[in-house]
Amino acid sequence: MLSGFHHVTLNVTDLSRARAFYEGILGFEVDQDFPGRKLRLRVGESRARLVLCPPPGAVDADRFSEYRIGLDHVSFGASRADLDRLASALSAAGVSASLNCDPLGPAVLCFRDPDNIALEFFEES
């Protein structure tokens, strides 16, 4: 029987830059660090993890695009207060983000990481 979502692995071009973004700006907590090989981050209070690692082969000049088959975006649940805090942190870091506040539904904060991977934080009550 399924017990939940375990992890998502994202290939990144620069592990140090990705760490600065996910840990430093977004506030993810490092769970395991394998220097130069991979970084595993806690996803809030859940058991799920986000794993960042360089691609297994040579890195090409390609960038993430949701217009290809595969991943479209990764969405994390957060409180409205956390959405506001994250929007401020992204703005202070010079990251373009859009906080969409639907009066009839939850708010969503959309932005991209340094490798252009589409991310969002979705308001949960």
Place of tokens 């969409």: 100
Q: What is the pLDDT of residue 88?
A: 97
The strand pair at 29-34 and 7-11 is best described as unpaired
Give pLDDT, residue 93: 97
SS3 70: coil
How would you class 60 by CB atoms within 10 Å of its CB: exposed for 0-12, middle for 13-18, buried for 19 or more? exposed
Main-chain dihedrals φ then ψ at residue 111, nearest 5 degrees: -165, 180
Q: What is the pLDDT of residues 35-64, one digit of tens each?
A: 999 999 999 888 999 999 998 877 777 778
pLDDT on residue 69: 82
For position 29, what pLDDT does the model report? 96
pLDDT at 26 exceeding the cut of 90: yes
Residue 69 DSSP one-character state: S
Domains and CATH numbers, the chain: 1-56 (3.10.180.10), 72-125 (3.10.180.10)
- pLDDT: is 57 or 28 the higher one? 28
Q: Report the candidate in 81, 83, 77 with the shortest Cα–Cα distance to residue 44.
A: 77
Q: How many residues does the chain have?
A: 125
| β-pair partners for 112 | 118
